[in-house]
C-alpha cells in the first residue's frame, strides 16, 4: 500500500505516512492528548489521508488504540486500511 515493506513501518511514528500538512501537526495532537487525556481519534474509525513513498495521497481509515503498560507507560497502536472505492 505504501511501497515499503512491513519492517520499514514497524515501531515508526505514524507521521512517516502523513502528508506534510498533517505531519507538521501530529506531535501537537499527541501533546494535547497527553495534557488533557481527551481522545479525539481513539476507539473510532476516522477518515484520514496517507501518502505513499512516491508521494501519492490516498484516503484511509484510521483507528488508534492506547496500550498502558503495567509500569504506566503509553504506547499508541494505529490500525489503517484503505478506503475502497466501492
Break the chain into its structural domains and give their ranges. 6-82
Q: Is the pLDDT reported for residue 83 higher than 70?
A: yes
pLDDT at 64: 83
What is the arithmetic mean of pLDDT over 15-21? 84
3-state secondary structure of 85: coil
pLDDT of residue 59: 92
Average pLDDT over residues 79-86: 78
pLDDT over 60 at 86, yes or no: no
pTM: 0.69
Q: What is the reported pLDDT for 2?
A: 65
Superfamily of domain 6-82: PAS domain (3.30.450.20)
Amino acid at each position: 500500500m505504501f511501497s515499503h515493506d512491513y519492517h520499514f513501518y514497524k515501531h515508526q511514528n505514524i507521521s512517516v505516512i502523513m502528508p506534510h500538512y498533517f505531519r507538521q501537526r501530529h506531535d501537537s495532537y499527541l501533546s494535547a492528548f497527553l495534557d488533557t487525556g481527551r481522545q479525539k481519534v481513539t476507539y473510532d474509525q476516522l477518515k484520514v489521508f496517507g501518502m505513499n513513498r512516491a508521494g501519492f495521497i490516498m484516503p484511509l481509515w484510521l483507528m488508534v488504540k492506547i496500550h498502558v503498560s503495567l509500569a504506566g507507560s503509553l504506547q499508541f497502536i494505529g490500525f489503517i486500511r484503505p478506503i475502497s472505492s466501492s
